[in-house]
């Protein structure tokens, strides 16, 4: 929670799925743990039941304190029974005094007395992070917590939250009934809610009227992010809110930064909705969806990485020789590139010794994760696995992409270098996430590399079903000409020398970022 320094200061050894289990000399493993404090949904699509399923699906242990029992199915909520606050308190004490939770997540807290006992227990047993889903109105329109909780939410619960995740109706209720019907109004609601004290606000747009996209607005007090996905046409959306908040809690418990936790959670909900869009459970208007899609056979259907094609915008590729020449460490180079606006990093260390490279890669993973920027490793699947990077980039003569996918699993990002439409098609078939296409212009960074020119790039983009990043001889002077080619799937440029064969990486990255932004707004 705010007062406890927040989640960024966690020990590095808890930062990833595998590393979240710290082995001691007695072989005791620390497992990432979440506590959900929420209501039971007898139909098991939302509430406590959803929270348990999400955490299990994301590999995190979840304990549960039940605040209310609802008689609820796919037709709606028939009846609600609140547990006595004293008994909620006993459950809280029981688990908080025993377990070491990484994150506490709250859902339905239907009376001020229940919020009061929660606050008391959180002050008796401080936890590292608090995710507050201020459940008040379900998508089906049922009131799950009335206006009696508003003042204690506003004055005491929200200010200690690391993130709050209201839907549009809840955001409106918390703000005294303001109208929220557009993304612009969601942004201004997020800003006003942030003034109540939470570190981050996520206003969810699942129930926004008349929107073809499902847009969530993220605001951390400085920056806005709009997280968009195409709206899935399905009746099975019951429990999306609880699922999103629990998945954020689970990812935080494993050590993610807030922004990447939210991105992964949004992707998880989106995949689950897509996977189960036509399942039939219950006879009512709003059915539950399937959280365990990760156990299903089709690998494409349960991809859940934080990868967003827009991250290809300013793709920085490191080069050990250039860093040596300018006498800087790879870690400093990566830091400066991120600070200057790089949106994804690839470590390309052709000459480094494995052990040295691994240590550097581990440090870079830590930096990138704390900034919510993905880190990929060039060629070296072994290094990517060992440092738990977000993915790899491979060339046509490296390991085949389908094999890389089976080694790395469904959550990792895979990029492939492609010069021709045929290669782009194969990359898509093999399960890659994006392609890098070039060399667009002649370059010294890669020997014997055929230049395909802007025309070649255009042809590859046209044929590619995957997002494309252009590479090869690109810099500040010619980036605009690249972005000008008419291809909606061309998401950005990858650069080496333009950033790293320079005296000041930070300045050059900022300059390139500005150029790219300008060329984007022009087209």
**Which residues participate in catalysis according to the annotation?**
204, 237, 239-242
**How far is Cα 131 from Cα 245, in angstroms, rounded to an integer?**
7
Q: Residue 133 or residue 207: which is nearer to Mg ion going by CB?
A: 207
Q: Residue 108 or residue 499: which is nearer to ligand ATP going by CB?
A: 108
Q: Which residues in the 211-250 window bind ligand HMH by CB under 6 A?
A: 239, 241-242
* Single residue of 35, 46, 387, 490 touching ligand ATP by CB under 6 A: 46
Torsion of Cα atoms, 469 then 380 then 407 then 365, to 10°: -70
Q: Residue 133 or residue 501: which is nearer to Mg ion going by CB?
A: 133
Q: Which two tokens stand for residue 436?
A: 């890098």
The reply on whether position 211 binds ligand ATP by CB under 6 A is no
The reply on whether position 39 binds ligand HMH by CB under 6 A is yes
Please state the closest distance from residue 72 (CB atom) to ligand HMH, in A. 6
* Pairing of β 213-219 and β 224-230: antiparallel
DSSP assignment, residue 338? H
The reply on whether position 47 binds Mg ion by CB under 5 A is no
The reply on whether position 436 binds ligand HMH by CB under 6 A is no
Element (H, E) at 145: none
Q: Which stretch binds ligand ATP (CB under 6 A): 69-77, 226-234, 417-425, 470-478?
A: 226-234
Beta-carbon contacts of residue 276 (< 8 Å; ≥ 6 apart)? 234, 236, 289, 290, 293
How many residues form the binding site for Mg ion (CB under 5 A)?
Answer: 3
* Pairing of β 33-41 and β 61-73: parallel
C-alpha distances out from residue 334 to 346, 371, 399, 422, Å:
9, 11, 26, 33
Q: Which stretch binds ligand HMH (CB under 6 A): 35-43, 211-219, 423-431, 513-521?
A: 35-43
* Single residue of 120, 139, 188, 192 touching ligand ATP by CB under 6 A: 139
Q: Residue 56 or residue 485: which is nearer to ligand HMH going by CB?
A: 56
Residue 378 touches which of Mg ion, ligand ATP, ligand HMH, none (CB < 5 to 8 A by kind)? none
Q: Residue 244 or residue 344: which is nearer to Mg ion going by CB?
A: 244
The reply on whether position 287 binds Mg ion by CB under 5 A is no
Q: Residue 34 or residue 232: which is nearer to ligand ATP going by CB?
A: 232
Q: Which two tokens stand for residue 349?
A: 């260390």
Name the maximum alpha-carbon separation found in the chain: 74
Q: Residue 239 or residue 436: which is nearer to ligand ATP going by CB?
A: 239
Among the listed residues 442, 416, 440, 447, the one whose alpha carbon sits nearest the alpha carbon of residue 429: 416
* Single residue of 266, 303, 380, 511 touching ligand ATP by CB under 6 A: 266
Please state the closest distance from residue 167 (CB atom) to ligand HMH, in A. 9
Among the listed residues 223, 132, 121, 131, the one whose alpha carbon sits nearest the alpha carbon of residue 174: 132
* Single residue of 270, 388, 433, 459 touching ligand ATP by CB under 6 A: 270
266 close to 231: Cβ distance less than 8 angstroms? no
Q: Which stretch binds ligand ATP (CB under 6 A): 15-23, 55-63, 201-209, 408-416?
A: 201-209
How many residues form the binding site for ligand HMH (CB under 6 A)?
Answer: 16
* Single residue of 34, 135, 208, 457 touching ligand HMH by CB under 6 A: 135
The reply on whether position 362 binds ligand ATP by CB under 6 A is no
Binding mask 110-139 for Mg ion (x = CB under 5 A): -----------------------------x
Please state the closest distance from residue 138 (CB atom) to ligand HMH, in A. 4
Q: Residue 276 or residue 378: which is nearer to ligand ATP going by CB?
A: 276
Q: Which residues in the 40-99 window bind ligand HMH by CB under 6 A?
A: 40-41, 46-47, 70, 72
Pinpoint the alpha helices (H) of 14-128. Answer: 47-57, 85-96, 112-124
Q: Which two tokens stand for residue 443?
A: 């370059």
Q: Classify the C-alpha dihedral 29-31-35-36 as positive or negative.
A: negative
**How far is Cα 435 from Cα 429, in angstroms, rounded to an integer?**
12
- Edge-to-edge strands of the sheet including 163-164? 76-82, 61-73, 33-41, 103-106, 129-132, 163-164, 200-203, 213-219, 224-230
What is the distance, to the nearest Å, from the Cα of residue 191 to the centroid of all Cα atoms in its chain? 21
- 511, β-bridge pairs: none
R_g (Cα) of the chain, nearest Å: 24
Residue 70 touches which of Mg ion, ligand ATP, ligand HMH, none (CB < 5 to 8 A by kind)? ligand HMH
The reply on whether position 144 binds ligand HMH by CB under 6 A is yes
Q: Residue 102 or residue 185: which is nearer to Mg ion going by CB?
A: 185
Q: Which stretch binds Mg ion (CB under 5 A): 181-189, 203-211, 360-368, 375-383?
A: 203-211
The reply on whether position 206 binds Mg ion by CB under 5 A is yes
Among the listed residues 504, 411, 495, 492, the one whose alpha carbon sits nearest the alpha carbon of residue 446: 495
Of the CA atoms within 13 Å of residue 491, those in its CB half-sphere come to 22
Coil/strand/helix, residue 287: coil
Coil/strand/helix, residue 270: helix
Residue 131 touches which of ligand HMH, ligand ATP, Mg ion, none (CB < 5 to 8 A by kind)? none
**Residues near ligand HMH (CB under 6 A):** 38-41, 46-47, 70, 72, 107-108, 135, 138, 144, 239, 241-242
């Amino acid at each position: 929670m705010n007062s406890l320094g927040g989640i960024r200061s966690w020990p590095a050894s808890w930062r990833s799925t595998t590393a979240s289990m710290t082995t001691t000399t007695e072989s005791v493993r620390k497992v990432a743990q979440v506590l959900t404090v929420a209501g039971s949904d007898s139909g098991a699509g939302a509430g406590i039941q959803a929270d348990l399923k999400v955490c299990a699906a994301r590999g995190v242990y979840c304990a549960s304190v039940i605040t209310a029992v609802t008689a609820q199915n796919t037709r709606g909520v028939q009846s609600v029974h609140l547990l006595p606050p004293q008994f909620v308190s006993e459950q809280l004490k029981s688990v908080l005094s025993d377990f070491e939770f990484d994150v506490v997540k709250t859902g339905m807290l239907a009376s001020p007395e229940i919020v009061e006992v929660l606050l008391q227990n959180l002050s008796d047993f401080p936890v590292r992070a608090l995710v507050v889903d201020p459940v008040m109105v379900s998508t089906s329109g049922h009131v799950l917590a009335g206006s009696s909780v508003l003042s204690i939410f506003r004055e005491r619960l929200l200010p200690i939250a690391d993130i709050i995740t209201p839907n549009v109706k809840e955001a409106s209720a918390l703000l005294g009934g303001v109208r929220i019907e557009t993304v612009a109004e969601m942004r201004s609601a997020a800003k006003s809610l942030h003034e109540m004290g939470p570190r981050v606000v996520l206003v969810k747009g699942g129930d926004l009227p008349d929107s073809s996209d499902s847009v969530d607005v993220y605001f951390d007090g400085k920056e806005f992010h709009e997280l968009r996905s195409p709206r899935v046409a399905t009746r099975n959306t019951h429990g999306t809110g609880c699922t999103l908040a629990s998945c954020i809690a689970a990812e935080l418990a494993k050590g993610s930064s807030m922004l990447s936790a939210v991105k992964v959670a949004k992707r998880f909900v989106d995949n689950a909705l897509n996977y189960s869009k036509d399942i039939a459970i219950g006879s009512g208007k709003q059915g539950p969806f399937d959280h365990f899609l990760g156990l299903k056979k089709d690998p494409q259907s349960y991809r859940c990485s934080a990868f967003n094609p827009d991250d290809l915008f300013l793709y920085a590729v490191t080069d050990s020789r250039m860093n040596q020449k300018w006498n800087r460490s790879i870690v400093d180079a990566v830091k400066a590139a991120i600070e200057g606006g790089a949106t994804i990093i690839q470590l390309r260390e052709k000459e480094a010794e494995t052990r040295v490279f691994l240590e550097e890669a581990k440090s870079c993973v830590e930096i990138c994760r704390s900034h919510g920027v993905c880190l990929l490793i060039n060629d070296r699947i072994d290094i990517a696995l060992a440092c738990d990077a977000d993915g790899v980039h491979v060339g046509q003569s490296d390991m085949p992409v389908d094999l890389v996918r089976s080694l790395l699993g469904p959550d990792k990002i895979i990029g492939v270098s492609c010069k021709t439409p045929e290669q782009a098609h194969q990359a898509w078939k093999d399960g890659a996430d994006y392609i890098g296409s070039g060399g667009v212009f002649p370059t010294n960074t890669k020997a014997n590399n055929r230049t395909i020119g802007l025309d070649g790039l255009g042809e590859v983009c046209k044929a590619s079903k995957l997002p494309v990043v252009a590479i090869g001889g690109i810099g500040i002077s010619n980036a605009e000409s690249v972005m000008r080619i008419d291809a909606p799937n061309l998401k950005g440029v990858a650069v080496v020398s333009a950033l790293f064969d320079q005296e000041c990486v930070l300045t050059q990255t900022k300059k390139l970022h500005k150029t790219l932004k300008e060329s984007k707004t022009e087209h």
